[in-house]
A and B are shown apart, each in its own frame.
Chain A
Amino acid sequence: MKAFGITLIIVLISGSIAGWTAPAGSDIAVVVSRDVPIDDLSFSELRKILLGDRQYWSSNLRVTLLIRAPAAREREVILRNVLEMTEAQYRQYWIGKVFRAESSSAPKSIATNEMAFSLLNSIPGSIAFVNASQVPKDLKVVRLGGLLPGDKGYPLN
């Protein structure tokens, strides 16, 4: 069991080193679970998902939004580039959204990219935003306006 404890420490430390915040300048990939029937999202569609205005991929598949916890660069890039909100505005927006009964729950806060990868594999319809250089090959990266991370003009960096 000690080995398991050590594993957890390694997870946390590796999260701190590699997954805690994406290095400045690196692109942020939009990653979805395998069952999401979409390969390309427009910038406005992405914004609607992040605002909870789009809650279904299809009638049978609900969007589950996974967002890195505060202080992560991934979250900072999403709030700044897509939502154009401060951290406080984002929190107030989602409290209001749930309070208005427009959404039954707020986005899930994820501590590390490793956790995001784990949840993407286990929650149908989930979508997360992670440092492009860390995305495992078995996960599905969605194009944003036809562009992938690393392409010229990719908007999430």
Chain B
Amino acid sequence: MKSLIIAATLLFVPAHSLSAQQQRTTQTETIETLLARIERLERRVAELEGSKVQAQPATQRTEQTQVPAEALHPEVAQSVSEGPSLKIAGFSDFNFSGSDQKGTKSGFTEGQFVLHLNSNLTQKVSFMGELSLTARTDAGGGMPPVTGFNAEVERSIIRFEHNDYLKVSFGRYHTPINYWNTAFHHGQWLQTTVSRPEMVQFGGRFIPVHFVGGLVEGAVGAAGLNFNYNFGVGNGRGSVISRGGDAGDINNSRAWLVNMFIKPDKLYGLQVGGSAYRDKISTGGRDFGEWISSAHVVWNRETPEVIAEFANVRHENLTTASPVSNSQAYYVQTGYRLPVFDKRFKPYYRFEYIHIPRSDFLFQSPVVPNLAGSVAGLRYDLTSFAALKFEYRNQRRDPGQPRINSGFVQTSFTF
């Protein structure tokens, strides 16, 4: 019966309305979908035969729709059932890089291996987790020998949804005070470029990349402006300021944040917003007050793509009298999905800048180095789920220092 179904189905695969190349691709996908579906149906038929359920007459059209939806589409059945339904997806990348910086070596590097777990506990309660495995440069050293990869729980969030206006969650987040930090996470394939802007680099210190605590979020129509908000309370930075307070807060002063943005109906693709973040940092026997204010403008339609962000980090030494410092960082990235070659090519450019004043004792170089640099590259989408990126970087750390030129090739994908 399988061959009959396949033959009958293939005969009726539509052969119009697409270009020749698209047609081949979509027909292949359609055939694969159908084969998978046929297998599911055959299994269901076998189950029904096994349980001696009477088949219904084939002559009445209405009876076709009486085949249980759950049998026809198991994943839909899963989504409406009351119980955990774990789904796993993954991201990874492989890179080759070379640089004219003294002391560096060219070669291949393995990017993060990221697993993303998602489970609906009920219709209104869901969990999501993100695990990463990162190659270690000190693998095999020490006693006992260090393992080759460092495992990290990047995100772990349980969310309770009342409706679109109100969602409450608890867990470990990527701090929602920066667009890039919440839009792309650890999936390199999702972002246009090879690397993240340095102001939101993983393991970086300019802004707190992770946040442990609770968030209240939601969205309202606001007369077509589509106003979105996040309010959060959490532990803030740890004594190592690149880390969130996973094992507890280092002081009795919670961090809090506010993030708001709009996505106007009339300018589909535009997002404009800003954030504020307040924390008390205790490190090296001193306390610092931290105020972060940030803003972003994004046009995400790809023709063109524009992402621009700015952040000011204000530090005040609460232990000894010293001047208040303001460190700033921004980047502007543009890209354009070319209309030729099946829209697979996307050239891009990014300028980024970080300035740390001498008065900022917490960020003073080399903790957060200054930066003025450009990134230019080309993204080629091999398939809908894998990309190849070529990138050139030209960066200077401080005025008077030589510029560093680097080249990168990356293949990134989701699986």
Binding site for B on A (CB under 8 A): 1-14, 16-17, 20-21, 24, 44, 47-48, 53-56, 58-59, 62, 64, 69-71, 73, 76, 84, 86-89, 91-92, 95-96, 98-101, 104-105, 108-111, 114-115, 117-119, 121-124
Contact = CB atoms under 8 A, between A and B. Distances in A.
A110 B73 contact: yes
B219 interface: yes
Given A16-B12, A47-B268, A88-B381, A71 B89 contact: no
Interface in B1-50: 1, 4-5, 8-9, 11-14, 16-18, 26-27, 29-30, 33-34, 37-38, 41, 45, 48-49
Nearest to B174: A100
Contacts of B45: 1, 4-5, 8
Given A1-B48, A108-B79, 20 more contacts: A1-B45, A3-B56, A3-B57, A3-B58, A4-B55, A12-B38, A16-B8, A17-B12, A21-B17, A59-B162, A62-B123, A71-B14, A89-B302, A99-B190, A100-B182, A105-B118, A114-B64, A114-B65, A117-B65, A118-B67
A4 B48 contact: yes
13 contacts: A9-B1, A9-B5, A16-B13, A64-B76, A73-B17, A91-B384, A98-B118, A104-B126, A109-B33, A111-B33, A114-B64, A115-B72, A122-B68
Contacts of A5: 1, 45, 55
A100 B126 CA distance: 13
Contact of A7 (B37, B56, B263): B56
Interface residues of B, number: 76
A96 B116 CA distance: 11
Contacts of A91: 384-385
A73 B64 CA distance: 23
B87 A105 contact: yes
Point out which of A59, A73, A76 has the most chain B C-beta atoms below 10 A from its C-beta: A59
A10 B381 CA distance: 38
Contacts of B89: 95, 98-99
A101 B157 contact: yes
Contacts, number: 174
Chain A contact residues, majority secondary structure: helix
Contact of A104 (B55, B58, B120, B384): B120
Contact of B49 (A1, A70, A100, A111): A1
A100 B58 contact: no
Given A101-B157, A111-B37, A118 B58 contact: no
Interface in B105-137: 116, 118, 120, 123-124, 126, 128
A16 B5 CA distance: 12
B64 A20 contact: no
A16 B9 contact: yes
A70 B157 contact: no
Contacts of A3: 55-58
B343 interface: yes
Given A10-B64, A47-B268, A24 B17 contact: yes
B302 A100 contact: no
Point out which of A4, A91, A98 has the most chain B C-beta atoms below 10 A from its C-beta: A4
B83 to A, nearest CB: 14
A105 B120 contact: yes
A20 B12 contact: yes
Contacts of A16: 8-9, 11-14
Contacts of B64: 7, 10-11, 14, 114
